[in-house]
Amino acid sequence: MPGLTQPPQAITGPAVAAGPVIAVRGVTKTFGETTALHDVSLTVARGEIVVLLGLSGSGKSTLLRHLDGLDRPDTGTVTVLGATVSRLRGRPLRALRGQVGFVFQQFELVGSLTVLENVLTGALFRVRGPRLGLWGYRRDLQLAALGHLDRVGLLTHAYQRADTLSGGQQQRVGIARALMQNPRILLADEPVASLDPESSAQVMALIREIAIDSGLTVVCSLHQVDLALSWGDRIVGLRHGEVVLDTATQGLSKQNVMEIYGRVTTSTAELGAIETELGTAPDEDGEPDEQGELDLQTFSSARDNRR
Ligand SMILES: Nc1ncnc2c1ncn2[C@@H]1O[C@H](COP(=O)(O)OP(=O)(O)OP(=O)(O)O)[C@@H](O)[C@H]1O
Ligand SMILES: [Mg+2]
């Protein structure tokens, strides 16, 4: 097909089926005096949905950025789809990134463009030359974009300006845009941090459904333990750049997570910060957020029924 970028052999070869989709081995990354990641090792199997959980500054974004080569480790290696990411440059790196979709906390849509045009920008790595509006994109890409919009439930909004959508809808457009790449891996950096509990659960449900339908491997950072338990297969807890928790969610309670995560705290203040940031602190009135709990329970049961 004209304009299509061919991925290099290393990314599509037989090694992919044999090994893990993602292998991080002994990665340390410092920024000046700050150690963002310290000796982090992690493997992710095909189709797995892994949630990175941790306080602000624990290294979640840095780890995600290593997975598509936006950051490079000081020591250690990152292997994604059979390719050593830190050694890739230029075209092979772009080809790898073509297989890794990214969903951002702030959606990163162009508000003045239509929803459909925003989704089409996900195909930019596949088209050449300037694009002026929809007619700059091939018909097959436009049809694919409409298909992805249908998948995320926004087909009827295709020709609406992106900045007129609700936050949850905008994030669904962000997901449709990532799907335009036909990715094999989906990375999501706090995709629901800007959303209310109901929209958060809907977006996480959508990510999970799509991942299962398409055999996508997902690595998603979150602050909320409830969401991690409801929608992840596995939780990897980061603290000060180190992995302090790596466990399947099956049979795991919120209390288990907090206990394991909290076991390595050094002060009460720190534990308080964990509780607040990971979403276990009561509201200012001292009561848990009943509405939020109810919504999450509803969606959790929906998810369990689907499994
Ligand atoms: N480009 C950079 N330059 C300097 N320091 C950085 C850079 N990127 C990350 N850091 C530092 O590395 C540490 C880990 O940051 P990172 O953004 O990965 O944390 P995070 O877990 O994603 O936090 P948050 O939940 O707030 O998004 C922090 O101390 C941060 O200040
Ligand atoms: Mg971050």
* 60 in contact with ligand 1, CB cutoff 6 A: yes
| Angle in degrees, CA 213, 219, 221, rounded to 5 | 125
Could you tell me the end-to-end alpha-carbon distance of the chain, in angstroms, rounded to an integer?
37
**33 close to ligand 1 (CB < 6 Angstrom):** no
For ion ligand 2, residues whose CB falls within 5 Å: 60-61
Lowest-pLDDT range of 87-96, 221-230, 295-304:
295-304
Ligand at shortest distance from the CA of 63: 1
Tokens 């000060």 belong to: 240
- CB of 62 shorter than 6 A to ligand 1: yes
The two three-digit tokens of residue 51, written as one number = 């949630």
Average pLDDT in the chain: 82
Q: Which ligand is nearest to the CA of 30?
A: 1
Res 12 pLDDT > 50: no
The closest-lying atom of ligand 1 relative to the alpha carbon of residue 37 is 14
Stretch 42-54: mean pLDDT, rounded? 95
Q: Is the CB of 224 under 6 A from ligand 1?
A: no
Sketch out the chain's domains with CATH numbers. 46-57+98-306 (3.40.50.300)
C-beta separation of 176 from 149 below 8 A: yes
- Atom 3 (ligand 1) nearest CA: 31
- Ligand nearest to the backbone CA of 62: 1
Ligand 1 atom nearest to 223, measured from its CA: 25
Mean pLDDT of the region 90-114? 92
Rounded average pLDDT over 128-139: 67
For the stretch 251-303, pLDDT in tens is: 888 888 887 777 655 566 666 666 666 655 444 443 433 333 323 343 344 34
Q: Taking residues 48-73, what's their average pLDDT?
A: 94
| CA of 36 relative to ligand 2 center, distance in Å | 11
Placement of tokens 């300037």 in the chain: 130
Note the pLDDT of residue 187. Answer: 97
Among residues of the chain, what percentage have pLDDT more than 90?
A: 60
pLDDT at 73 over 70: yes
pLDDT given for residue 256 in this prediction: 81
Tally the residues of the chain: 307
Distance 103 CA to ligand 1 centre (A): 18
Q: What is the per-residue pLDDT for 222? A: 92
pLDDT beyond 80 at 153: yes
The whole-angstrom separation of Cα 209 and Cα 213 is 6
Candidates 36, 25, 39; CA nearest to 86 is 25
pLDDT of residue 252: 87
Mean local confidence (pLDDT), 86-94: 90
**How many angstroms separate the CA atoms of 64 and 221, rounded?**
8
Residue 278's pLDDT is: 66
**DSSP E strands: which ranges in 86-241?**
100-103, 185-189, 217-222, 234-239
CB under 8 Å to 33, separation ≥6 — which residues?
Answer: none
Q: What are the CA-CA distances from residue 88 to residues 28, 63, 83, 94, 181 (Å)?
A: 18, 17, 8, 9, 19
- Say if residues 197 and 291 touch (Cβ distance below 8 Å): yes
- CA distances to 107, 178, 195, 203 from 210, in Å: 18, 11, 20, 11
Instruction: Summarize the confidence of residues 123-141 as an average pLDDT.
Output: 70
- Tokens 């409409």, located at residue: 146
Distance 153 CA to ligand 2 centre (A): 28
